[in-house]
């Protein structure tokens, strides 16, 4: 993970990372809207996995680890990333967003519509990361949930 952090940091992406006993996650955003996520869960016997997202894509796609460097340094999309989007273990009966920004964009739209309607009905007002899947964000009418050991920057 350290080598990916250094690589992403060097390339100037806005990066955040989180680490618990049984898993670690790096998440980084390029100024053009591209995103990359690398997760590792040794406790669950899972090796490192990398996912990428570009502004034109609806969802994360899994990419081979050796392709991370080309994507991070030159925004090269590996041919193997062009397969169907990855699935999700999320079983929440909620709309899924791949990043906090996209979830927040929806909230902004909802707020604008509410203001236009002037009906004052409180609807979704915050975004939180899905407890089942790092790659999923939901919006909620509850106060923002702040899961332990998680960072909420994106």
Is 103 a binding residue for Zn ion by CB under 5 A? The answer is no
CA-CA distance, 63 to 112, in Å (whole number)?
36
Nearer to Zn ion, 27 or 81 (CB): 27
Q: Say which residues have a Cβ less than 8 Å from residue 145's Cβ, sequence separation at least 6.
A: 128
Q: How far is the CB of 132 from Zn ion (least distance, A)?
A: 5
Nearer to Zn ion, 11 or 92 (CB): 92
Q: How far is the CB of 136 from Zn ion (least distance, A)?
A: 5
Is 130 a binding residue for Zn ion by CB under 5 A? The answer is yes
Q: Would you put residue 33 in left (φ > 0), alpha (ψ -120 to 50) or beta?
A: left
Is 100 a binding residue for Zn ion by CB under 5 A? The answer is no
CA-CA distance, 3 to 67, in Å (whole number)?
14
Whether 144 and 6 have beta carbons less than 8 Å apart is answered as no
Is 90 a binding residue for Zn ion by CB under 5 A? The answer is yes
By CB under 5 A, name the one of 15, 92, 104, 107 that touches Zn ion.
92
Query: Which residues of the shown chain bind Zn ion in the complex (CB under 5 A)?
Result: 90, 92, 130
């Amino acid at each position: 993970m350290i080598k990916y952090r250094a690589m992403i940091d060097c390339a100037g992406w806005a990066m955040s990372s989180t680490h618990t006993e049984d898993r670690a996650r790096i998440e980084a955003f390029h100024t053009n809207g591209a995103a990359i996520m690398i997760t590792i869960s040794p406790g669950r016997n899972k090796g490192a996995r990398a996912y990428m997202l570009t502004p034109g894509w609806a969802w994360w796609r899994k990419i081979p680890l050796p392709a991370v460097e080309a994507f991070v340094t030159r925004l090269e999309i590996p041919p193997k990333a062009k397969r169907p989007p990855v699935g999700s273990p999320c079983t929440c009966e909620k709309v899924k967003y791949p990043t906090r920004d996209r979830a927040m964009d929806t909230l902004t739209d909802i707020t604008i519509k509410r203001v236009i309607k002037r009906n004052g009905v409180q609807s979704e007002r915050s975004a939180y990361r899905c407890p089942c899947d790092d790659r999923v964000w939901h919006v909620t009418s509850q106060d923002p949930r702040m899961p332990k050991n998680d960072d909420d920057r994106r």
